[in-house]
Amino acid sequence: MKTELVIDLEAEKQEILKRYRALLRASKSTLQKGDKKEIRKAFDMALESHKDMRRKSGEPYIYHPIAVAQIAAEEIGLGTTSIVCALLHDVVEDTDITLEDIEREFGKKTAKIIDGLTKISGVFDTNSSLQAENFRKMLLTLADDVRVILIKLADRLHNMRTMDFMPRHKQLKIASETIYLYAPLAHRLGLYAIKSELEDLSMKYLDPDTYKFIAKKLNEKKAERALFIKKFVEPIDEIVHEQGLVADVYGRPKSIHSIWNKMKKKNIPFEEVYDLFAIRIILDSAPENEKADCWKAYSIVTDLYRPNPDRLRDWVSSPKGNGYESLHTTVMGPRGQWVEVQIRTQRMNEIAEKGFAAHWKYKESSNDNGLDQWIQKVREMLSNPEANALDFLDDFKMNLFSDEIFIFTPKGALIQLPLGATALDFAFEIHTDVGATCIGAKVNHKLVPISYKLQNGDQVEIITSSKQTPKEDWLNVVVTAKAKSKIKSSLKEEKRKIAENGKEILERKLKSLKITYNTDNIQKLSYFFKLPSTQELFVNVALGKIELKDIKEYLLSGKEVEHRSPERPENLSVDGIKSKIKGGDSDILLIGEDMQRIDYTLAACCNPIPGDDVFGFITVSEGIKIHRTNCPNAAQLMANYGYRVVKAKWNKQQELTFLTGLRIVGIDDVGLINNITRVISTDFKVNMRSITVDTNEGIFDGSIMIFVNDTEHLENLIKNLLKVRGVTGVTRFDA
Question: Could you please report the per-residue DSSP string of 589-609?
Answer: EEETTTTB----EE-TTT---
Q: Are 384 and 139 in contact, with CB atoms under 8 Å apart?
A: no
User: pTM to 2 decimals?
Assistant: 0.67
Is residue 518 over pLDDT 60? yes
* Distance from chain centroid for Cα 336: 35
pLDDT of residue 144 exceeding 90, the answer is no
Instruction: Give, as one character, the DSSP assignment of residue 178.
Output: I
Residue 563 in any domain: the answer is no
The dihedral of CA 470, 475, 477, 479: what is its sign? positive
pLDDT for 478 equals 92
Residue 561: inside a domain: no
**What is the pLDDT, as a whole number, of residue 585?**
44
Quick one: how many helices (H) and strands (E) in the chain? 30, 19
Count of residues making up the chain: 735
Q: Are 401 and 261 in contact (CB under 8 A)?
A: no
- Please say if 93 is a catalytic residue: yes
Same domain, 551 and 595: no
Q: Which residues contact 44 (CB under 8 A, 6 or more apart)?
A: none
Distant-in-sequence, close-in-space partners of 430: CB < 8 Å, separation ≥ 6: 409, 415, 462
Checking if the pLDDT of 327 tops 90, the result is: yes
pLDDT digits (tens, 9 = 90+) for 30-80: 778 888 888 999 999 998 888 888 888 888 899 999 999 999 888 888 888
Report pLDDT for 302. Answer: 93
Q: Averaged over 700-723, what is the pLDDT?
A: 86
Compute how many other C-beta atoms are within 10 angstroms of the C-beta atom of residue 173.
Answer: 22
- Which residue(s) pair with 283 in the sheet? 247, 345
Q: Is the confidence at residue 359, as pLDDT, over 70?
A: no
- In terms of domains, do 200 and 62 share one? yes
CA-based nearest residue to 67, from 15, 122, 9 = 15
Indicate if the pLDDT at residue 365 is higher than 50.
no
Q: How far apart are CA 532 and CA 523, in angstroms?
A: 10
In this predicted model, what pLDDT tens digit does every residue of 445-486 receive, in sequence order?
Answer: 889 899 999 988 788 999 998 888 898 889 889 988 889 888
528-546 mean pLDDT = 83
CATH number at residue 135: 1.10.3210.10
380 shares a domain with 317: no
> What gap in Å lies between CA 192 and CA 198, rounded to an integer?
10
| Confidence bin at 122 (pLDDT 50/70/90) | low
Q: Which of 85, 63, 89, 90 is nearest to 73 (CA)?
A: 85
Q: DSSP letters along 399-415, please?
A: HHHPPEEEEE-TT--EE
Identify whether 391 is part of a domain. yes
Q: Pick from 650, 669, 703: which residue ends a domain? A: 650
pLDDT at 398: 58
Q: Give the contacts of 336 (CB within 8 A, at least 6 positions apart).
A: none
Indicate the pLDDT class of residue 280, thresholds 50, 70 and 90: very high
What is the C-alpha separation between 161 and 198, in angstroms, rounded?
Answer: 9
Q: Is the alpha carbon torsion for 505, 508, 510, 512 positive or negative?
A: negative
Pair (379, 511) in one structural domain: no
**Candidates 15, 94, 115, 145; catalytic one:** 94
- Is residue 212 assigned to a domain? no
| Higher-pLDDT residue of 167, 551 | 167
Whether residue 236 sits in one domain with residue 379: no
> Does residue 92 surpass a pLDDT of 70?
yes
Task: Pick from 80-94, 163-177, 200-214, 269-283 the range whose average pLDDT is largest.
Answer: 200-214
Whether the predicted pLDDT of 565 surpasses 60: no
Report CA torsion sign: 646, 647, 649, 654. Answer: negative
What stretch of H or E contains 439? strand 438-443
Q: Which residue among 626, 650, 674 closes a domain?
A: 650
Beta strands (DSSP E) in 146-207 are none
Asked whether residue 16 falls in the same domain as residue 151, the answer is: yes
DSSP 76: S
Highest mean predicted confidence (pLDDT) among 326-330, 519-523, 650-654: 326-330
8 A C-beta contact, residue 612 and residue 621: no
Half-sphere exposure of residue 231, counting CA atoms within 13 Å on the CB side?
A: 10
Find the mean pLDDT for residues 251-275: 84
Amino acid at 323: G
**Helical segments of 57-130, H only:** 63-70, 80-87, 91-94, 99-106, 108-123
Give the domain-ending residue among 533, 556, 579. Answer: 556
Q: What percentage of the chain has pLDDT greater than the value 90?
A: 20
pLDDT of residue 131: 53
| CATH (domain of 382) | 3.10.20.30
Q: Which residues contact 11 (CB under 8 A, 6 or more apart)?
A: none
Residue at 628 is within a domain: yes
3-class DSSP state for residue 666? strand
The arithmetic mean of pLDDT across residues 674-682, rounded, is 83
Q: What are phi and psi of 441, to 5 degrees?
A: -150, 160
- Average pLDDT rounded to a whole number, residues 297-306: 93
Angle ∠(34,40,43) on CA atoms, nearest 5? 145
| Mean pLDDT for the chain overall | 80
**Continuous segment of H or E residues that includes residue 333:** none
Please check whether residues 469 and 497 belong to one and the same domain: no
Residue from 293, 304, 402 nearest 348 by CA: 293
Separation between Cα atoms, residue 490 and residue 478, nearest integer Å: 14
pLDDT tier for residue 18 given thresholds of 50, 70 and 90: very high
Strands, E assignment, 565-672 = 589-591, 601-602, 614-618, 624-628, 645-650, 658-667
Q: Which residues of 634-670 are buried (b: 16+ CB within 10 A; e: fewer)?
A: bbbbbbbbbbbbbbbebeeeeeeebbbbbebbbeeee
Does residue 417 carry a pLDDT above 90? no
Asked if 482 and 459 count as a contact pair (C-beta separation under 8 A), the reply is no
β-sheet bridge partners, residue 415: 407
Burial class for 187, CB neighbours closer than 10 Å (0-12, 13-18, 19+): buried
Pair 228, 347 in one domain: yes
**Residue 521 backbone phi and psi in degrees, to 5:** -65, -35
With contact defined as beta carbons under 8 Å apart, do 343 and 298 qualify?
yes
Domain range for residue 385?
370-481
> Among 87-96, 235-244, 377-386, which stretch is predicted with the lowest mean pLDDT?
377-386
Residue 662 lies in a domain: yes
* 566-580 pLDDT per residue, tens: 444 444 555 554 444
Query: Is 419 inside a domain boundary?
Result: yes
DSSP-based three-state secondary structure for 661: strand
| Residue 257: per-residue pLDDT | 92
Nearest-angstrom CA–CA distance, 272 and 266 = 10
Question: Quick one: 514 and 643 in the same domain?
Answer: no
Residue 729, phi then psi, degrees to nearest 5: -155, 140
Q: What's the rounded Cα separation, in Å, for the pair 45 and 354? A: 29
Residue 562: inside a domain: no
What SS3 string covers 463-476?
Answer: EECCCCCCCHHHHH
Other residues' Cβ atoms within 10 Å of the Cβ of residue 140: 17
Burial of 287 (0-12, 13-18, 19+ CB in 10 A): exposed
pLDDT (0 to 100) of residue 424: 95
- Model pLDDT, residue 126: 43
Please state, in angstroms and rounded to a whole number, the distance separating the CA atoms of residues 81 and 114: 11
For residues 445 and 356, membership in a common domain is answered with no
The pLDDT value recorded for residue 735 is 53
DSSP state at residue 357: H
The pLDDT of residue 367 is 43
Query: Which three-class secondary structure state does DSSP give residue 96?
Result: coil
C-alpha–C-alpha distance, residues 370 and 315, integer Å: 13
**pLDDT at 625 exceeding the cut of 70:** yes
Q: Is residue 653's pLDDT more than 70?
A: no
Say if residue 20's pLDDT is above 70.
yes
- pLDDT grade, residue 203 (50/70/90)? very high
- What is the count of structural domains for the chain? 6
Give the count of beta carbons closer than 10 Å to the beta carbon of residue 98.
Answer: 12
- Which pLDDT score, from 0 to 100, does residue 375 have? 63
Task: With cut-offs at 50, 70 and 90, classify the pLDDT of residue 592.
Answer: low
DSSP, res 538:
H
Position 561 confidence tier, pLDDT thresholds 50, 70, 90: very low
pLDDT of 689 reads 78
Evaluated on CA atoms 270, 279, 228, 203, the torsion sign reads negative
The helix/strand/coil state of 27 is: coil
**CB burial class (10 A; 0-12, 13-18, 19+) of residue 115?**
middle
Do 328 and 405 lie in one domain? The reply is: no
CATH number of the domain enclosing 338: 3.30.460.10
pLDDT at position 568? 47
Q: Are residues 64 and 198 in the same domain?
A: yes
List 60's β-bridge partners, or say none.
Answer: 54
pLDDT digits (tens, 9 = 90+) for 177-197: 888 878 888 887 778 889 999
Per-residue pLDDT at 490 exceeds 70: yes
Q: Catalytic: which of 93, 353, 461, 494?
A: 93
